[in-house]
Amino acid sequence: MALNWFKFASPASFYPIAGRLVPVFWVLTLALLAVGLYWGFFQTADQLGGSNPQKEYYRIIFIHVPTAWMSMWLYMILVGWAAIGLVFNTRLSFMMANAVAPTGAIFTFLALWTGAFWGRPSWGTYWDWDPRLTSELALFFLYIGYIALHSAIDDTRRADRASALLAIVGLIMVPVIFWSINCPDPNQCAALHQRSNLMRIEGNILFSMLIMTLAFWMYSFATTFMRLRSIILTREAESAWVQDILTKEARA
């Protein structure tokens, strides 16, 4: 089947598709959230054993871990679209990167916030200079930097391209930043701790974590596409097809 992918790469043809997909993603988001939260609250053990036994509050894991994953994945997606935009000079991919950024920033913030709430009962403090926490904070700064640079530049094209470049530089720096915080002393860097392994997690907990992650994915699609649609309308305001839509909506 010969599918013309470039057809979908034009804002005009993408706009209606995104419009039809948004409700689907919202329904999926709600359904998966319901399943994930139900499973997380009622089908999992009341406490975690091990050397550091945790009571009911460990359930924040079902929000905390998925949001932290999302924050990183969305940054990769943002950089991916930004890079495609820089290489192929396609406007839609920059709009995509733009639409992803706020959702990513929100997830990063949520991961930090829920982390603080979890940290209080389990570590006895809201904040610790733990490598992961600190790197997540650095990631949050990168998101904010991307959004700030984009909104500081009036010319949309320069804004798109400059912030895309910044995002790419950020992606290169994130591992270095993580590594430098993880082992501030290069003499004894072998002491990596707090390794998590998905295989060792109990089945029910893993299940609800993954369902929640899927729910957040759907949420990201829904919000990104909604934002994308409004970005397309703003930027293509003078083109004929947008004028058509606007007049039709005005009549209805």
Partner 1 sequence: MLEVQGLECRRGDRRLFSDLSFALDGGTLLHVRGRNGTGKTTLLRSLCGLFTPESGDIRWRGESIRALGDDYRRELLYFGHLNGIKGELTGIENLSIAATLDGDRISEDAIWEALAQIGLRGFEDLPTRMLSQGQKKRVALARLVLSGARLWVLDEPFTALDVDAVALLQRLIAEHVERGGLAVLTTHQEVPLTSGQVERLDLGA
Partner 2 sequence: MFRVFWTVLKRDLTLAMRRRTDVLTTLFFFVIVVSLFPLGVGTERKVLATLGPGVVWVAALLASMLALERLFAADYEDGTLEQMLLTAQPLSLLVLAKVAAHWLLTGLPLVLIAPLVGMQYHLSDAAIGVMMLSLLLGTPVLSLIGAIGAALTLGLRGGGILLSLLILPLYIPILVYGSGAVQVSDIAIADTQPYVALLGAFLMVAAIFAPVASSAALRISLE
Cα–Cα distance measured from residue 103 to residue 227, given in angstroms and rounded to the nearest whole number: 10
Residue 54: strand pairing partners? 48
Among partner 2, partner 1, none, residue 24 binds (CB under 5-8 Å by kind): none
How many Cβ atoms are within 10 Å of 235's Cβ, its own excluded?
18
Residue 251: strand pairing partners? none
| Cβ proximity of 72 and 218 under 8 Å | no
Angle of CA points 199, 115, 138, to nearest 5°: 100
Coil, strand or helix at 3: coil
Residue 206, burial from CB neighbour count under 10 angstroms (0-12, 13-18, 19+): middle
CB of 157 to partner 1, least distance (A): 7
CB of 48 to partner 1, least distance (A): 53
Pick the binder of partner 2 from 153, 206, 226, 245 (CB under 8 A).
Answer: 153
Angle of CA points 145, 162, 15, to nearest 5°: 90
CB of 156 to partner 1, least distance (A): 5
CB of 94 to partner 2, least distance (A): 12
Residue 48: strand pairing partners? 54
Tell me which stretch binds partner 2 (CB under 8 A): 28-36, 48-56, 101-109, 165-173.
165-173
Q: Show the site string, 74-93: x = touches partner 1 by CB under 8 A, - = not.
A: ---------------x----
Q: Considering the rule CB under 8 A, would residue 102 count as an interface residue with partner 2?
A: no
Among partner 2, partner 1, none, residue 177 binds (CB under 5-8 Å by kind): partner 2
Pick the binder of partner 1 from 46, 155, 185, 249 (CB under 8 A).
Answer: 155
State the DSSP code for 46: S
What are the residues binding partner 2 (CB under 8 A)?
Answer: 138, 141-142, 144-145, 148-149, 152-153, 155, 157-158, 161-162, 165-166, 169-170, 173, 176-177, 179-181, 184-187
What are the residues binding partner 1 (CB under 8 A)?
Answer: 89, 154-157, 234-238
